[in-house]
Amino acid sequence: MKFTFGLLIIACFSHQINAQSSSDKKPDLNLAFAKRSYTTTSINDLDPIKIDGIIDDDAWDAVEWTSDYVEWEPDNNTDPSQQTKMKIVYDSRNLYVAFRCYEPDPEKIIQRMGRRDDFPGDWIELNIDSYNDDRTAFSFTTSVSGVKGDEFISNNGNFDSSWNPIWYVKTNIDEEGWTAELRIPLSQLRFSNDKDQVWGIQSTRRYFSKEERSTWQPVPANPAGWVSSFGELRGLKNLEPQKQLEIQPYTVTKYKSYEQEAGNPYRDGNDEDLTVGLDAKIGITNDLTVDLTINPDFGQVDADPGAVTLDGFEIFFQERRPFFVENKSVFDYRFTDSQNNLFFSRRIGRSPQGQAFGPGVVYADSPVNTTILGAAKFSGKTENGWTIGVLESVTAKEYAGVINTNGEEDEVLVEPLTNYFVGRVQKDFNDRNSYVGTMFTATHRNIEDDLTFLHTQAFSGGLDFKHNWKDRTYYLEGHSVISHVRGSKEAILNTQNSIVHLFQRTDADHVEVDPNRTSLTGTGGRLEFGKGGGGNWRYRAGGKWISPELETNDIGFLRQADDIRQYAGVNRLFTRPTSWFRRANIGIEQSSVFDFEGNYNRMQYELRSSINYKNNWWSEFGAAHKPRIFVNSFLRGGPRWRFNEENYWFLFSGTDQRKKLSFRAGYVHAQAKQNAFGLRRYVVGTNYQPLNALNLSLELEYEQNPSKTQYITERSFNGAARYILGQIDQETLSATLRVNYSINPNLSIQYYGQPFIFKADYSNLNFVQDATARDINKRISWYGDDQIAFENNSYLIDENRDNIIDYSVSNPDFTFVQFRSNLVARWEYIPGSEIFFVWSQGVTGLGDVDNDFSAIVDNQLLRQRPQNTFLIKATYRFIL
């Protein structure tokens, strides 16, 4: 009933907006546009083109200009404010592209500077589908200031900016507007051996002053796919596929300083290190490339943002290391949602899992990360539609240095020698409208010493498919996975009892802990049907499941097993501008959750909408109603826990982000019945660009997350488990500052800094009485004053009031304080070769929960000596 009511809201909203603009005589936004074609020619017999941004070389006269760009956004299928022209020629080694972007008023040309892939100010873009497969393409963008952007496009519209080819561009401003010349080596593209080829192409221009996009090939406002809508490039004859061979050695000098710890030889105040390594890219064929790295260094990578979780689950952080980020789409296998994935590359080089401290150990020096001895990727896509990816990596044994009570120095193994393998294959068929694929991963560990708690072997595999029909308007897609892990009885017992699985749950009859098992096998997957193109309506419906025994965390990411979900949603898009907005959308979704015992755990209804106003301000709004919330993991192995019914909403809005000064603000509000828990999050941010070369951004976030029933620990009382909870006043404060100064497209200085404070102040301890009771007063019991006392930083509890302490609970109050910053100077002194100068600072510690935020900042941040790391990294790319 509520879902149907939501559909009525969308229908009424749609009717009202359409009524407002019904009198406008606009073209049909959903028509199919005729495919355009451009014919190029070879200039092998002519003098080479000089890339200087001035289109005056004789070789350009070999072809005609193509123009007639059509506005795509905001007013689809109309004439753009300013027209654009394009020329394309080629020789035996390069593709050359010229653009003429008309603008009679030079003051409207915005020449903002930025780092690679920033896309600042006015820009022009070329997309090349060199296999003409309607699914993959290479994107090259240049701003009027000469900043380059390059992306690999997969799955007919997923842009991946981690792809960094070598190519050349120059721009120039004259009385007619601005021009750009591009030289793209054919070695950076992938194409067939055919003597006469047809490529898909698209060009997009951003006209900054009106925030307008126009395209060479007209595109509907809501295309079912991006690459499949391209026009054609013809005239490519006798092209010879080029094999890449690039070798990039590097050297890193690192110096670290920190506060000396008296008596600890591992913390003497400073460390120095000098390392060398090698990256290489080898073209096995024109289609398939091997990427190699030996002793990789990721020292210039930004630090992870501050985060604390009280639910026991692992925090998901994005991959930032260049070797693993590049071409990551090939190995992407998200089988239920945006996080659960068969391959999570941060497992490779992870922090050691063994403990250095043990009986008799006084000091320990444990490595922060596991050393990656080497890694290789074999990946690419063939002309007949095969996408192939193979990744192999070996990480070293890692030892922690320890000193015992006798002053003797020793080593403790904290991570075994480990091999990781990932294989991925996909095949296009049905005229590129469908694909089917498979993936396989394997982890092998050489278990020694006290590391028997780790799996010796872990395998996972899956099959996926997607079928589009009726011009890609409708789709059916699915993923299935299976996993198998092996290890000692200890290792498998740990997996059964982990927060991901919780086989020990007291009220779960469908799972049980078996201490004699040495393996686990589980399955998971998703099936979804939907409408992804055509018209202004989008919808989807599907289901997904994760069996209790599925385990992928050796090389993948899995948050929680034993989960079955159903979902359905509908979305209405408004892409025809009106008198007060440019674009808008509104959608609703309903979902429900069960476990494999059949327990009905959750029901949720959600509404989301966004709007881009006529003046380019924007707003996002959402709300959710959660009438049923049961959580299997809340009591860490205890019975299912019922949360009170919850209502949730958020509102974010901001000014025109093109302006030199822009603002954004947001508020998130959640409240449960009986004030059982709540959430208040306040976000304020600003961007300021005082100069074309300088950009500053600051975001402040404050969050209050109170709850009457935060889990603390488990104790035993009268031979039964007693689950101890408490009222918590939880507060989080963070500030993120970014400063980007781009001296030119190849020389930039960037700063990132974030102080992060998390406070958890507990009071009013209570215990679980009836975990699934609707009324919170029946679900828990509060300790009376005659049952609980606080002494020596612990709660002493006499539950049966016999003047004998039944159990105690350590004071759970804590404050976590962290500051992280990176100052990076990057100079790409020749294309593909770089020098990095890095200064990183870090402070991590615990504060006093009774202090306010200003006192914590003063005592735990400003008065603490930070750890400083200075790093110089130099690379040189040899192109052979």
State yes or no: pLDDT of 8 exceeds 50: no
CB 232 within 8 A of CB 202: no
Residue 301 has a pLDDT of: 62
- Which has more confidence, 115 or 150? 150
In this prediction, residue 17 has a pLDDT band, given cuts at 50, 70 and 90, of low
State yes or no: pLDDT of 22 exceeds 50: no
CB 821 within 8 A of CB 752: yes
CB 236 within 8 A of CB 219: no
pLDDT, one tens digit per residue, over 368-381 is: 889 999 999 998 88
Alpha-carbon distance of 537 to 532, in angstroms, equals: 9
Alpha-carbon distance of 222 to 207, in angstroms, equals: 20
Task: Kindly calculate the radius of gyration of the chain based on its CA atoms and give it in whole angstroms.
Answer: 30
CB 609 within 8 A of CB 623: no
Bridge partners (DSSP) of residue 107 are: none
What fold characterizes domain 32-237? Answer: Immunoglobulin-like (2.60.40)
State yes or no: pLDDT of 249 exceeds 60: yes
CB 138 within 8 A of CB 128: yes
pLDDT, one tens digit per residue, over 510-532 is: 999 999 999 999 999 999 999 99
Half-sphere exposure of 138 (CA within 13 A, CB side): 21
Residue with tokens 């009170």: 644
Record the tokens describing residue 466, joined without a space.
């997607």
How many helices (DSSP H) and strands (DSSP E) are in the chain?
A: 5, 47
DSSP 3-state of 7: helix
- How many degrees, rounded to 5, is the angle at CA 272 between CA 267 and CA 273? 125
**Region of residue 601 (phi > 0: left; psi between -120 and 50: alpha; otherwise: beta):** alpha
pLDDT, one tens digit per residue, over 588-599 is: 999 999 999 999
Q: Average pLDDT for residues 102-112, to the nearest whole number?
A: 93
CB 410 within 8 A of CB 404: yes
CB 688 within 8 A of CB 657: no
Q: How many residues does the chain have?
A: 880
Contacts of 745 (CB under 8 A, 6+ apart): 113, 116, 145, 146, 147, 148
CB 149 within 8 A of CB 229: no
**Is the preceding omega at residue 74 within 30 degrees of 0, hence cis?**
yes
In this prediction, residue 29 has a pLDDT band, given cuts at 50, 70 and 90, of very low
**Is the preceding omega at residue 755 within 30 degrees of 0, hence cis?**
no
In this prediction, residue 706 has a pLDDT band, given cuts at 50, 70 and 90, of very high
Residue 302 has a pLDDT of: 61
CB 798 within 8 A of CB 791: no
pLDDT, one tens digit per residue, over 129-138 is: 998 999 899 9
Q: Which of 41-45, 455-459, 469-473 has the lowest mean pLDDT?
A: 469-473
- How many degrees, rounded to 5, is the angle at CA 44 between CA 40 and CA 47? 105
Query: Looking at this protein, which amino acid is placed at residue 100?
Result: R
State yes or no: pLDDT of 12 exceeds 70: no
Give CA 512 to chain center in angstroms. 35
Residue 25 has a pLDDT of: 42
Residue 471 has a pLDDT of: 87
Residue 624 has a pLDDT of: 98
Residue with tokens 């690379």: 875
Query: Looking at this protein, which amino acid is placed at residue 415?
Result: E
The DSSP annotation for 471-525 comes to TTTEEEEEEEEEEEEE--HHHHHHHHHSTTT-TT-TT-SS----TT--EEEEEEE
Q: Average pLDDT for residues 631-638, to the nearest whole number?
A: 94
pLDDT, one tens digit per residue, over 41-75 is: 999 999 999 999 999 999 999 999 999 999 999 99
Alpha-carbon distance of 371 to 853, in angstroms, equals: 38
Alpha-carbon distance of 601 to 632, in angstroms, equals: 8
Q: Average pLDDT for residues 714-729, to the nearest whole number?
A: 94
Record the tokens describing residue 169, joined without a space.
């561009």
336 CB burial (10 A radius; 0-12, 13-18, 19+): buried
In this prediction, residue 32 has a pLDDT band, given cuts at 50, 70 and 90, of low
DSSP 3-state of 552: coil
Q: Average pLDDT for residues 850-870, to the nearest whole number?
A: 84
Alpha-carbon distance of 628 to 197, in angstroms, equals: 58
Bridge partners (DSSP) of residue 252 are: 275, 873
Give CA 372 to chain center in angstroms. 22
Q: Say how many Å lie between the first and final Cα of the chain, rounded.
A: 66
State yes or no: pLDDT of 639 exceeds 90: yes
Q: Which of 52-66, 301-315, 565-579 has the lowest mean pLDDT?
A: 301-315
364 CB burial (10 A radius; 0-12, 13-18, 19+): middle
E strands present in 446-473 = 457-469
What residue ranges do the domains of the chain occupy? Answer: 32-237, 314-561
In this prediction, residue 299 has a pLDDT band, given cuts at 50, 70 and 90, of low
pLDDT, one tens digit per residue, over 335-388 is: 988 889 999 999 999 999 998 888 888 899 999 889 999 999 998 888 888 999
Q: Average pLDDT for residues 300-324, to the nearest whole number?
A: 76
According to DSSP, residue 673 is labeled G
For residue 115, which of 754, 832, 750 has the smallest C-alpha distance?
A: 750
- Which has more confidence, 306 or 762? 762
State yes or no: pLDDT of 7 exceeds 60: no
Count other Cβ atoms within 10 Å, centred on residue 31.
10
For residue 208, which of 323, 327, 120 has the smallest C-alpha distance?
A: 120
Q: Average pLDDT for residues 472-492, to the nearest whole number?
A: 96
Percent of the chain with pLDDT over 70: 96
Per-residue three-class SS string for 193-236: CCCEEEEEEEEEEEEHHHCEEEECCCCCCCCCCCHHHCEEEEEE
Alpha-carbon distance of 112 to 146, in angstroms, equals: 9
- How many degrees, rounded to 5, is the angle at CA 314 between CA 642 and CA 512? 55
Contacts of 834 (CB under 8 A, 6+ apart): 826, 827, 828, 873, 874, 875
Residue 861 has a pLDDT of: 77
Residue with tokens 């290489």: 280
CB 275 within 8 A of CB 251: yes
Residue with tokens 């089988």: 335
Q: Which of 14-23, 471-480, 496-505, 690-699 has the lowest mean pLDDT?
A: 14-23
Record the tokens describing residue 48, joined without a space.
């080479």
Q: Average pLDDT for residues 117-124, to the nearest whole number?
A: 92
What would you measure as the largest C-alpha separation in the chain, in angstroms?
102
What are phi and psi for residue 876, nearest 5 degrees? -140, 125
Percent of the chain with pLDDT over 90: 71
Record the tokens describing residue 457, joined without a space.
């072997």
Query: Looking at this protein, which amino acid is placed at residue 256?
Result: K
In this prediction, residue 21 has a pLDDT band, given cuts at 50, 70 and 90, of very low
In this prediction, residue 317 has a pLDDT band, given cuts at 50, 70 and 90, of confident
Mean pLDDT (the chain) is 91
Record the tokens describing residue 630, joined without a space.
């049961």
Alpha-carbon distance of 867 to 844, in angstroms, equals: 9
Alpha-carbon distance of 86 to 66, in angstroms, equals: 5
Residue with tokens 């006015």: 122
785 CB burial (10 A radius; 0-12, 13-18, 19+): exposed
Bridge partners (DSSP) of residue 448 are: none
Record the tokens describing residue 167, joined without a space.
């190519």
According to DSSP, residue 347 is labeled G
Alpha-carbon distance of 205 to 192, in angstroms, equals: 29
What are phi and psi for residue 324, nearest 5 degrees? -85, -25
CB 820 within 8 A of CB 842: yes
Contacts of 779 (CB under 8 A, 6+ apart): 642, 709, 768, 769, 770, 771, 772, 773
Q: With b meaning 16 or more CB within 10 Å and e meaning fewer, what string describes 102-131?
A: bbeeeeebbbbbbbbebbbbbbbbbbbbbb
